[in-house]
Amino acid sequence: QVLLVQSGAEVKKPGSSVKVSCKAPGDTFTSYAISWVRQTPGQRPEWMGKIIPILGKTDYAQKFQGRVTITADKSTRTAYIEVTSLTFDDTAVYFCARDRPAVAGHFDYWGQGTLVTVSA
Amino acid sequence: DIQMTQSPSSLSASVGDRVTITCQASQGIGTFLNWYQQKPGKAPQLLIYDASNLEMGVPSRFSGSGSGTDFTFTISSLQPEDIATYYCQQYDDLPTFGGGTKVQSK
């Protein structure tokens, strides 16, 4: 079992930023990618982007280009997603998931999810 | 983006029933399709990858088939623990998910 552990729930004001973390086992960082997927209540999951930690290479969904940054700290085996200029529409559960390095889209292990609430 | 359309959006079935869900892609995706199960408050769980391959540890009552634009997901004999929402997801292009099928108990 591969355990991805995410940071806790956040409440943010519109216009602010949020940074969510995802701690992964060592082999995930050296051999896999980590993708970020968010899900608003009652809606389908939405892929946001991914990082190959050993290379630092990132890919983003076009919708989030310029507003989302994914990073990875190899020393702590932790991946991060930062979302800026938050709006009410960014209220969602944010998941990290282990992914294949070559092609995004094989999410075989997931974090527990982090609820981000954007509220005035 | 490749659009994924699932049907039905919800269904009711009894324990032991055969359940079938379909997923249609807006363009051909080969067999670059996965199926996930999601229970309330939990992350999705990968069940089927590459259209028809059973993920390790997943019961054999789950199966998938199809290629190109049309795919099918089947539960051969519904069990109580299968009550959940199911999503298809393509990865021929950047990943996109279907709208989900909520499987409820009749």
What confidence score (pLDDT) does residue A102 get? 86
Please judge whether A106 and B43 are an interchain contact, meaning their C-beta atoms are less than 8 angstroms apart: no
Whether the Cβ atoms of residue A7 and residue A114 lie closer than 8 Å to each other: yes
Kindly report the CA angle at B74 between B73 and B79, in degrees rounded to 5? 130
Contact B89, B36 (CB under 8 A): yes
State the best of A4, A20, A39, A44 to mutate against chain B, taking most chain B CBs within 10 Å: A44
Supply the DSSP string of A1-33, one letter for each residue: ---BEE---EEE-TT--EEEEEE--HHHHHH-E
**Residue A107, helix vs strand vs coil:** coil
Tell me, what's the pLDDT at A111? 97
For residues A59-88, one letter each, b for 16 or more C-beta atoms within 10 angstroms of the residue's C-beta and e for the rest, the string is bbbeebeebbbbebeeeebbbbbebeebee
Nearest to B49 among A45, A47, A106 (CB): A106
Question: Averaged over B45-68, what is the pLDDT?
Answer: 97
The tens digit of pLDDT for each residue in B79-89 reads: 999 999 999 99
At A28 the pLDDT is: 86
**CA-based nearest distance B51→chain A, Å:** 12
Query: What's the pLDDT tens digit per position in B23-50?
Result: 999 999 999 999 999 999 999 999 999 9
Chain B contact set for A94 (CB, 8 A) = none
Q: How far is CA A62 from CA A46, A67, B26, in A?
A: 12, 10, 18
Residues of A whose CB is below 8 A from B94: 47, 59, 61-62, 104-105
Share of residues in chain B with pLDDT > 90 (%)? 100
Beta strands in chain A (DSSP E): 5-6, 10-12, 18-23, 33-39, 46-52, 57-60, 68-73, 78-83, 92-99, 109-110, 114-118
Per-residue pLDDT of chain A (120 residues; tens, 9 = 90+): 889 999 999 999 999 999 999 999 888 888 999 999 999 998 999 999 999 999 999 999 999 999 999 999 999 999 999 999 999 999 999 999 999 988 889 999 999 999 999 999
pLDDT, mean of residues B77-104: 97
Average pLDDT over residues B4-24: 98
Say what the pLDDT of residue A62 is: 94
